[in-house]
């Protein structure tokens, strides 16, 4: 059984009566309880719960937890026996099953390099707020607002979107707001180097499934059908990216690079265990929070894979971080392995952190691709031999012989104390 995608929710929204302009949709606990009680009300008088194994998932299903179910025991009008039966049925309810059944939902942090205190943590779906109305305004100082978010300053500008720092007047917390320019009525063509409208919804669909300390969290999506912009409210990571482009003065200290490497590998292993290829690992997409922890961001070109089959055909990432096998299959219709391509990009990123420059770079895209495919990796003889060996393993041009993320975690440089 597959959980409904954000795109499915969007389509269903366009085919139902639109709410008043000032109404935003939110999922309160009371609405969850009402729907759950409705779902199991017919079960209270029977001896055994209904079999939900073939039941369709509700279109806008709400997740549940044992704690929320236990709270029903204190609900007025529900005695202990009835509450116990409701809990039993609720744990098999499509509201719960719909979000936990797919393989990527049952992810444990036990083998992902986290602290022992988190080793038994099982992923539970986070609440992502979906708002269908975008109300523009200004605060008392004249700053522009979207709903309850005040725009403070621009953080980054891309080809089809920009990211601004915003403040939520409800909790006074800062967030990153990604503002995406939607194609008006999807009538004009978007160059292949930019994302299409469907790619944006795929990014949202992927991000709403992720909950990990090394992944930037999606908080809210504001998508008004009458507005040509879509707003993604994201966790704000104050420290910026780990490295801002090539630096002739050199990279960062080896101990710091090792610490960042561990966080990146932990986040990547989580993504791959969820069946997701990031596709654009690079320093600009690796942010540092106040405690020095790395968080992976920007899932605009990420792709899914099923089971252990990570063969992909499209490689839309940044050219200088592209694996050689991705270049050779361009336009041929052949496939490459997404996890190995992410590992190559990790190797380029580690090289950038250590040396402050790219391992393979030319004057043009064509010459850069030629360097990536044909030029041998050159490392200084004075380099830490463990680090040199790791870089050679990550930047092995043969994807079959290239190190895996699991092998990286067992490497001496990775395990070495800083």
pLDDT in tens, 35-87: 443 444 444 333 333 333 333 333 333 333 344 444 444 444 444 444 444 44
Task: Tell me the pLDDT tens digit for each residue of 284-333.
Answer: 999 999 999 999 999 989 999 999 999 998 877 899 999 999 998 887 77
The pLDDT of residue 106: 35
Q: Which domains, ranges and CATH numbers included, belong to the chain?
A: 6-101 (no CATH), 129-235 (3.30.200.20), 254-415 (1.10.510.10)
| Phi, psi for residue 67 in degrees, rounded to 5 | -60, -40
pTM: 0.69
Task: Supply the mean pLDDT for the chain.
Answer: 75
Helix (H, G, I), strand (E, B) or coil at 119: coil
Q: In angstroms, rounded to a whole number, what is the distance separating the alpha carbons of residues 397 and 308?
A: 22
Q: In angstroms, rounded to a whole number, what is the distance separating the alpha carbons of residues 396 and 291?
A: 33
Q: In angstroms, rounded to a whole number, what is the distance separating the alpha carbons of residues 281 and 312?
A: 16
Query: In this structure, are residues 164 and 154 in contact, taking their beta carbons and an 8 Å threshold?
Result: yes
Q: In angstroms, rounded to a whole number, what is the distance separating the alpha carbons of residues 357 and 156?
A: 22
The pLDDT of residue 184: 43
Q: What is the mean pLDDT of residues 370-397?
A: 96
Tell me: pLDDT of 391 over 50.
yes
The CA-atom distances, in angstroms, between 32 and each of 26, 64, 232 are 11, 8, 24
Annotated catalytic residue 280: yes
Given the residues 280, 298, 310, 342, the one annotated as active site: 280
Q: How much of the chain exceeds pLDDT 90, in percent?
A: 54
Alpha helix positions (H), 20-79 = 29-41, 66-70
- Listing DSSP states for 154-202 in one string gives EEEE-SSEEEEEEEETTT--EEEEEEEE--GGG-S---TTS--HHHHHH
The pLDDT of residue 163: 95
Kindly state the helix (H) or strand (E) to which residue 311 belongs, with its residue range. Answer: strand 311-312
DSSP assignment, residue 24?
A: -
Task: Tell me the pLDDT tens digit for each residue of 137-153.
Answer: 999 999 999 999 999 99
Task: Tell me the pLDDT tens digit for each residue of 178-209.
Answer: 999 876 435 444 444 444 567 788 999 999 99
The pLDDT of residue 261: 98
The pLDDT of residue 196: 58
Query: In this structure, are residues 301 and 280 in contact, taking their beta carbons and an 8 Å threshold?
Result: yes
The pLDDT of residue 200: 87
Three-state secondary structure of the chain: CCCCCHHHHHHHHHCCCCCCCCCCCCCCHHHHHHHHHHHHHCCCCCCCCCCCCCCCCCCCCCCCCHHHHHHHHHCCCCCHHHHHHHHHHHCCCHHHHHHHCCHHHCCECCCCCCCHHHCCCECCCCCCEEECCCCEEECCCCCEEECCEEEEEEEEECCCEEEEEEEECCCCCEEEEEEEECCHHHCCCCCCCCCCHHHHHHHHHHHCCCCCCCECCEEEEEECCCCCEEEEEEECCCCCECCCCCCCCCCCCHHHHHHHHHHHHHHHHHHHHCCEECCCCCHHHEEECCCCCEEECCCCCCEECECCECEECCCCCCHHHCCHHHHHCCCCCCCEEHHHHHHHHHHHHHHHHHHCCCCCCCCCHHHHHHHHHHCCCCCCCCCCHHHHHHHHHHCCCCCCCCCCHHHHHCCHHHHCCC
Question: What residues have CB less than 8 Å from 269, skipping those under 6 apart?
Answer: 112, 113, 405, 406, 409
The pLDDT of residue 182: 79
The pLDDT of residue 418: 61
Q: In angstroms, rounded to a whole number, what is the distance separating the alpha carbons of residues 280 and 278?
A: 6
Question: What residues have CB less than 8 Å from 20, skipping those under 6 apart?
Answer: none
Q: Would you give the end-to-end CA distance of the chain in angstroms? A: 45
Task: Tell me the pLDDT tens digit for each residue of 237-295.
Answer: 998 899 876 665 678 999 999 999 999 999 999 999 999 999 999 999 999 999 999 99
Question: 54-68 in b/e burial notation, b at 16+ Cβ within 10 A?
Answer: eeebeeebbbbeeeb
The pLDDT of residue 207: 95
Q: How much of the chain exceeds pLDDT 70, in percent?
A: 65
């Amino acid at each position: 059984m597959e959980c409904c995608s954000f795109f499915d929710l969007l389509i269903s929204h366009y085919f139902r009566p639109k709410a008043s302009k000032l109404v935003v949709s939110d999922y309160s606990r009371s609405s969850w309880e009402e729907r759950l009680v409705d779902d199991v009300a017919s079960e209270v008088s029977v001896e055994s719960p209904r079999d939900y194994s073939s039941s369709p998932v509700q279109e806008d299903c709400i997740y549940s937890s044992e704690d929320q179910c236990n709270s029903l025991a204190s609900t007025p009008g529900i005695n202990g026996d009835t509450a116990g039966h409701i809990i039993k049925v609720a744990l098999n309810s499509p509201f719960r099953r719909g979000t936990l059944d797919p393989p990527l939902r049952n992810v444990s942090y036990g083998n992902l390099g986290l602290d022992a205190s988190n080793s038994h943590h099982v992923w539970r779906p986070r609440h992502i707020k979906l708002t269908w109305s975008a109300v523009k305004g200004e605060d008392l100082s004249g700053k522009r607002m979207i709903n309850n978010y005040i725009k403070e300053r621009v953080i980054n500008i891309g080809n089809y979107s920009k990211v601004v720092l915003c403040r939520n007047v409800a909790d006074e917390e800062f967030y990153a707001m990604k503002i995406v320019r939607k194609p008006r009525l999807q009538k004009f063509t978007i160059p292949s180097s930019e994302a299409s409208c469907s790619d944006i919804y795929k990014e949202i669909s992927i991000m709403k499934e992720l909950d990990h300390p090394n992944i930037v969290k999606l908080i809210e999506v504001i998508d008004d059908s009458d507005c040509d912009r879509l707003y993604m409210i994201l966790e704000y990571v104050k420290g910026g990216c780990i490295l801002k482009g090539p630096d002739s003065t050199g990279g960062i200290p080896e101990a710091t690079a090792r610490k960042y490497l561990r966080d990146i590998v932990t986040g990547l292993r989580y993504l791959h265990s969820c069946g997701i290829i990031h596709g654009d690992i690079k320093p600009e997409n690796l942010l540092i929070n106040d405690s020095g922890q790395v968080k992976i961001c920007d899932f605009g070109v990420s792709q899914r894979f099923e089971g252990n089959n990570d063969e992909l055909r499209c490689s839309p990432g940044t050219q200088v971080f592209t694996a050689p096998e991705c270049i050779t299959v361009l336009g041929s219709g052949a496939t490459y392995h997404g996890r190995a391509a992410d590992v190559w990009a990790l190797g380029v990123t580690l090289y950038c952190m250590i040396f402050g420059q790219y391992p393979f770079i030319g004057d043009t895209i064509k010459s850069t691709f030629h360097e990536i495919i044909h030029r041998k990796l050159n490392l200084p003889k004075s380099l830490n031999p463990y680090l040199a060996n790791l870089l050679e393993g990550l930047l092995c041009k043969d994807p079959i012989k290239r190190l895996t993320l699991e092998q990286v975690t067992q490497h001496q440089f990775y395990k070495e104390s800083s």
